Structure 1
Amino acid sequence: MRRMTATSACVSHVPRLEDMAQNAQHRSVSIAMVDNDRMALMALSSLLTRAGFTVIWTAQLGAAAIQRCIRPQDRPDVLLADMALSDMTGIDVCRAVRRWAPDLPMVGVTAYDPAVYRDAALAAGAAAVISKDDIATIAATVRELSTSRSPAIIPDHGTGAPDRTVTSANALHDVPTQPSDSSAQSMQAHPHSTQSSQPQRSFALSAQQAAIMRRYADGRSTEEIAAELGISKGTIFSQVARVRDKLHASDRDEAVALCRRYLRM
């Protein structure tokens, strides 16, 4: 699957965004974005501003985004989080923000297949995972979330195009960070009721994890990867172990095979 850059992917949707900018209700909606790709931040910020939204801040590190979302004075109406960051995953960002600002709607964005991140993102509190090239749907989702202040299902408009959006109407409410008294009692009475019989793989890899696995998929040795990325072999082994845990892979070869299959490495 070809990975599209935010700049090139967004251009084809500009006319639709200009039409949407005529809607005055967008003007009051504030957005914050976290993405380790500076060019992607610039492109998305420009296009969403033209659509009538107000981008109040951007961040390239997940930790910085979490810190700003915790502060009420910096909290946007909607947070856009890239699924693959440098210091952590977008899933980690959503999970942390949801703990400290549970009423803040969040939308995951990705240059890859949104379905790869669906389950983990929704469980972490994101209302949707949308392809970065689908700017019109990102804008529509932000507008809907800012209006309802709760996650909403984005309707299928019957275009016949592949589904590039993954949403859940109750994502923020179905999986509370800390269970209420009633839910805790229910979990004690039915300890296995919320657990799947099969382990759920998470392909929400960090940027470094993805870089390592991509090089293994290309046939590089550990020594070559360490030299190319400027990191130690110990760091590589540690990151591969985390990837194996996420993918429930028995060894590195299985993890590489899964990345090749689902992430098109």
Structure 2
Amino acid sequence: MCTMGNPNEIRLAIVDNDDFVLMGLAAFLSRHLPNVRLAWKANTGTDALEYATDPANETDILLVDMSLEDMPGDMVCREIRSRNRMLPLLAVTSFSLIRYARRAAEGGAQGIVSKADFPALCKAVKLVSDGHTLCVRVGGETIGFEDVDAAYHRLVRLPVNRIERLSEREKYAMELYSQSYKPTQIARMMDVSAGTVKTYLDRVQNKLHLTSRAELIAYWWRRERW
């Protein structure tokens, strides 16, 4: 059983699309880390983003499920980290850490742990809530995580730098795509082939380090907030 060495309360928040898993994690951590209190919970990345950026919701650590339904967990981390320079983020997953570790690190999390590894979960919650970061060994490679401040400063600069990498044609194609125009329509408007439009969109997605068209659209819609 894990025990708390720090007498101060840990205000825990969790975002997980499976409410049964969410409440199970909260109950387990409260039982094995007596000073943990569930401050708030969310089932979607959208709700987590709203709660995590509300100053009224005082939180010491947020557990982020990496496979949410409305947006990828690493995108939730990135969105929160770029607006909140205080809240430690711990990514959690039911899948292999290899699948998400690098994406969680790039998204500004302070570590990642398996939901099924209960001792590691206890240890990670204590460490990350206390301002520490984790290192994970996956596939023969060690992936380190930045502290909250370093991740924040990297990400608040990142969107502008990445957008500047795009050509004017790529930006134009992406702007039309974000307005729900189909590639064939964009091709006619830009006087190019549909294949060229696909190439433009693929380049934008790669340059922005995103993994899907849905994530690309969400990123593009939110860029004005940065």
Rate the CA distance shift 1:176–1:154 in 2: closer, same or farther, 3 A. Answer: closer
Of the three residues 14, 27, 30, the one matched with 2:11 is: 30
1:121-132 matches, within 5 Å, as 121-132=104-115
Q: 1:75 to 1:119 in 2, by over 3 A?
A: same
Q: Distance in 2 between matches of 1:69 and 1:110?
A: 20
Q: Cα deviations across residues 112-141 of structure 1 (Å, max 9, x unaligned)?
A: 001111111101101112111012212211
Give the distance between the partners of 1:170 and 1:31, measured in 2 at CA.
20
Bigger RCO (CA 8 Å, 6+ sep): 1
State the alpha-carbon separation in 1 of the partners of residues 92 and 114 from structure 2.
Answer: 6
Instruction: Kindly provide the CA deviation profile for residues 138-197 of structure 1, in whole angstroms up to 9, marking residues without a partner as x.
Output: 2211211222x2x423589xxxxx99xx752426415712239xxx9xx8xxx99xxxxx
Q: Are 1:178 and 2:161 matched, yes or no?
A: no
Q: Which residue of 2 aligns with 1:109?
A: 92
Is contact 1:45-1:55 (8 Å) kept? yes
Give identity over the alignment, percent. Answer: 25
Q: Which runs of 4+ in 1 moved over 3 A?
A: none
CA distance in 2, matches of 1:145, 1:171: 9
- Shift, 1:48, TM fit: 0.5
Q: 1:6 — aligned with what?
A: none
Q: Determine which structure has the larger strand proportion and give its number.
A: 2
Q: Distance in 1 between matches of 2:92 and 2:77?
A: 12
Amino acid across the alignment from 1:29:
I
Q: Secondary structure at the match of 1:179?
A: helix
Contact 2:62 2:89 in 1 (8 A): yes
- 1:126 is paired with a residue whose SS is coil
Match of 1:40 among 21, 24, 27: 21
SS in 1 for 2:121: helix
Deviation at 1:99, TM superposition (A): 1.1
Please state how far the C-alpha of 1:246 moved relative to its aligned partner: 2.1
Relative to structure 1, the CA distance from residue 68 to residue 44 in structure 2 (aligned partners, 3 Å threshold; closer, same or farther) is same
CA–CA distance in structure 2, aligned partners of residues 131 and 26 of structure 1: 26
Q: CA separation of 1:84/1:142 partners in 2, compared to 1, >3 Å: closer, same or farther?
A: same
Change (3 A) 1:178 1:50: same
Paired position in structure 1 for 2:189:
none
Checking the alignment, whether the CA contact within 8 Å between 2:109 and 2:145 is kept in structure 1 is no
Q: Which residue of 2 aligns with 1:168?
A: 144
Whether contact under 8 Å (1:30, 1:76) holds in the other structure is yes
The normalised TM-score by structure 2 is 0.62
Backbone CA RMSD of aligned residues = 3.1
2:82 partner SS: helix
Instruction: Find the counterpart in structure 2 of residue 246 from structure 1.
Output: 211
Q: CA deviation at 1:55?
A: 1.2
Secondary structure at 2:156 match in 1? coil
**What TM-score results when the alignment is normalised by the length of structure 1?**
0.54
Q: For the residues of structure 1 that align with 2:212 and 2:73, how far apart are their CA atoms?
A: 17
Amino acid of the residue matched to residue 131 of structure 1? S
Corresponding position: 1:94 with 2:70:
no
Cα distance in structure 1, aligned partners of 2:157 and 2:5: 39
- Is residue 2:63 matched to residue 1:80? yes
Instruction: Tell me the residue number matched to 2:102.
Output: 119
Count, aligned residues:
162
* Cα distance, 1:65–1:167 mapped onto 2, change above 3 Å: farther
